[in-house]
Amino acid sequence: MQYMVNKYLQYDIYNLDLLTYAGDLTKHKEIESRDNYYFVKADIADREAIVSLFEKEKFDYVVHFAAESHVDRSILDPSTFVRTNVLGTQVLLDAAKQIGVSKFVHVSTDEVYGELNFDPTTFFTEETPIKPNSPYSASKASSDLLVRAYHETFGLPINITRCSNNYGPYHFPEKLIPLTISRVLNNQKVPVYGDGRNIRDWLHVIDHCAAIDLVLHEGLNGEVYNIGGHNERTNLEVVKTIIATLGKSEDLIEFVKDRLGHDKRYAIDPTKLEALGWKPNFKFETGIAQTIQWYLDNEEWWQRINSGEYKTYFEQQYGA
């Protein structure tokens, strides 16, 4: 949000958010007084509210980030993910179709492709078949197909982006990197699923924003674009890097029972997007150091979150 508000002063930018457990308006303090920024609290699955808003404001573009996104929570309660990610997407598509938007960008995930083996020469491309393995990725794959169908059936101008794992400032503490940073800073055990060998491709949030900006303005109508940083690391490598950077002991690592349906590896080939002119600016070594520093500088933000409802969830998911 900050990226677009700061870059496009000529755009009126609306931030629509239901402010569920992971919603946090404090991250937008630096832009909330800007003349081109507006906040609307609403549920994307609330058809009446969404259609009314779209008819009133007559948006030119829709960039659809809104989603339940945590795999672990989708295993605990798949229904919430179906409601938000599938039904909510369909409501947004109907509203966008009704007012005739110029572009609908649907932000998805590499997890819809399923898993790769450990062969470092294999990558997801835009032609890789969709084979989701978790309720979360299945709900995102379903929403991807709905977006494609609205393009093919109704002619809605769309793009779909599928990104690798994001990291950076304001990342909610349930995800691996902020979870590890906050636990290590509190000298608490860091849970690592299974043997920690699962591999993810890490993408800095600023690189992701730049990619979406490019797709919004230059993406070919109807096309899918993969966004990956070529920064593959095992989960255990990520955790050890954070521990070493913070000068703590690896004794804080605690291996726990593996996640159900845990995909082995994700890795993206972003060649198609690079042909539009995009390249990631952040190598993982630089990005993770900056991210760790951000959490050191903003301890009050994540300590407040960790002391609330999230503490109960953590104990339910990983054990007290």
* Beta-ladder partners of 104: 62, 158
Q: Does the annotation count 126 as an active-site position?
A: no
Length of the chain as a residue count: 320
The dihedral over CA atoms of 16, 19, 20, 21, expressed in degrees to the nearest 10, equals 140
* Residues forming beta bridges with residue 6, ordered by sequence position: none
* Alpha helices for the chain (secondary structure H): 2-7, 47-57, 71-76, 78-81, 88-99, 135-154, 176-185, 205-218, 235-245, 271-274, 284-297, 299-306, 309-318
The catalytically annotated residue of 136, 225, 266, 295 is 136
Q: Is 37 a catalytic residue?
A: no
Closest CA to 196 of 134, 251, 264, 118: 264
Catalytic option among 17, 43, 68, 110: 110
Separation between Cα atoms, residue 55 and residue 50, nearest integer Å = 9
Of 3, 95, 8, the residue nearest 43 (C-alpha): 95
**Selected catalytic residue, list 17, 43, 68, 111:** 111
Told to judge if 110 belongs to the known catalytic residues of this protein, a careful annotator would answer yes
How far is it, in rounded angstroms, from Cα 289 to Cα 159? 32
Q: Which amino acid is at 231?
A: N
Looking at the annotation, which residues are catalytic?
Answer: 110-111, 136
